[in-house]
Amino acid sequence: MQIHLITGISGSGKSVALRAFEDSGYDCIDNLPVSLLESLIATLETEKRERVAVAIDARRGSSIAQLPQLLEKLQAKHQVRVLFINADTNTLVQRFSETRRRHPLSVTAGVNSEQTLASTLIEALDLERKLLEPLSKSAHSIDTSNLPAHTLRSWIQDLIKDKPVGLTVILESFGFKKGLPGEADLVFDVRCLPNPYYDKILRPLTGNDEPVKIFLSAIPEVNAMVDDIIRFVQNWLPHYIADGRSYLTIAIGCTGGQHRSVYLINRLGQALEQNIPNGLPIHLLYRHRELDSNFEK
């Protein structure tokens, strides 16, 4: 059975993630008590279910500490993956303010001033992060701080498409002006390279467009940077696989996430597709954070 545990910080998008699993044909259970996880899986086994997504969050309090041991037990019989949805505190405070929802770990006593409410919310978020820390270390994380809901749904649908067992390498471009992607394992900064943004013809285009590719490919420093990144990634991928990872996110960032980072991520992906080191079981996913976020569905 394929079991996906969805967890993370309240307000970061767990409900959106669970709906994406449901749309992909998974049996979905929200807000399940930790103590019922084993019996749920046993029931689904007898019903011969093959794919299930379970959302568990920190509102269950200290019982969340039992989860790593339970997951290890389930992994002996099933394919178990943990997805951790996260966002920075400022973003979460803004989202709770807009929706006027109370954080599940907030004190229920009445609060009137905005200052008191913000303080209580931040304390609740800090407590939640502390409770979920053991799970976050072993999970595949997605930072939704700068991510619209439709982009999160799209990324998750790509993530759960049927793939052979192996390492899923997520190649992500981003813009530093909107912050680092919190889920990144490796980050390369290419802001030192010439920027097509300052060419009026190239400015409205992206690193996916041929004129930008021609412009960047003609610059020796760009090709040297690409070669260095490719060499580093190819040399170290076997070690990440040996470490038992299921996911590895490699992020390349420029200023706006539109030209240079997009181009370099595509070049890196092409190199890996053409020459996967020693035939390793690697599966590539592409994410262009700023371009994906701007795409309207």
pLDDT digits (tens, 9 = 90+) for 209-222: 999 999 999 999 99
Residue 59: pLDDT above 50? Answer: yes
Closest CA to 215 of 201, 226, 225: 201
Q: How far is CA 25 from the centre of its chain?
A: 21
Are 187 and 155 contained in the same domain?
no
CA gap 96, 124 in Å, rounded: 12
Are 16 and 109 contained in the same domain?
yes
Are 285 and 244 contained in the same domain?
yes
When pLDDT is cut at 50, 70 and 90, the band that residue 265 belongs to is very high
Is residue 200 classed exposed, middle or buried when 0-12, 13-18 and 19+ CB atoms within 10 A define those classes?
exposed
Are 112 and 181 contained in the same domain?
no
Q: Which of 159, 188, 216 is the last residue of a domain?
A: 159
User: Mean pLDDT, to the nearest integer, of 7-36?
Assistant: 91
Are 208 and 255 contained in the same domain?
yes
Are 97 and 173 contained in the same domain?
no
**What is the predicted pLDDT for the residue at 108?**
47
Domain count, the chain: 2
CA distances, 265 to each of 213, 232, 258, 283, 289 (Å): 12, 14, 11, 15, 11
User: Mean pLDDT, to the nearest integer, of 120-138?
Assistant: 86
Residue 28: pLDDT above 70? Answer: yes
Are 250 and 107 contained in the same domain?
no
> pLDDT tens digits for 158-201?
888 765 567 889 999 999 999 999 889 999 999 999 999 999 99
pTM of the predicted structure, to 2 decimals: 0.70
CATH number, domain of 119, equals: 3.40.50.300
Are 179 and 153 contained in the same domain?
no
CA distances, 51 to each of 3, 22, 68, 137, 142 (Å): 6, 10, 20, 24, 21
**What is the predicted pLDDT for the residue at 101?**
83
Are 142 and 289 contained in the same domain?
no
Domain range enclosing 245: 167-294
Q: Which of 159, 177, 194 is the last residue of a domain?
A: 159
Q: Which of 124, 159, 194 is the last residue of a domain?
A: 159
- Block residue for tokens 């599966």: 283
If one compares 89 and 244, the residue with the highest pLDDT of the two is 89
Are 149 and 194 contained in the same domain?
no
Are 111 and 16 contained in the same domain?
yes
As a three-state string, the secondary structure of the chain is CEEEEEEECCCCCHHHHHHHHHHCCCEEECCCCHHHHHHHHHHHHHCCCCEEEEECCHHHHHHHHHHHHHHHHHHCCCEEEEEEEECCHHHHHHHHHHHCCCCCCCCCCCCCCHHHHHHHHHHHHHHHHHHHHHHHHCCEEEECCCCCHHHHHHHHHHHCCCCCCCEEEEEEEEEHHHCCCCCCCEEEECCCCCCHHHCCCCCCCCCCCHHHHHHHHCCHHHHHHHHHHHHHHHHHHHHHHHCCCCEEEEEEEECCCCCHHHHHHHHHHHHHHHCCHHHCCEEEEEEEHHHHHHCCC
Are 133 and 202 contained in the same domain?
no
If one compares 5 and 135, the residue with the highest pLDDT of the two is 5
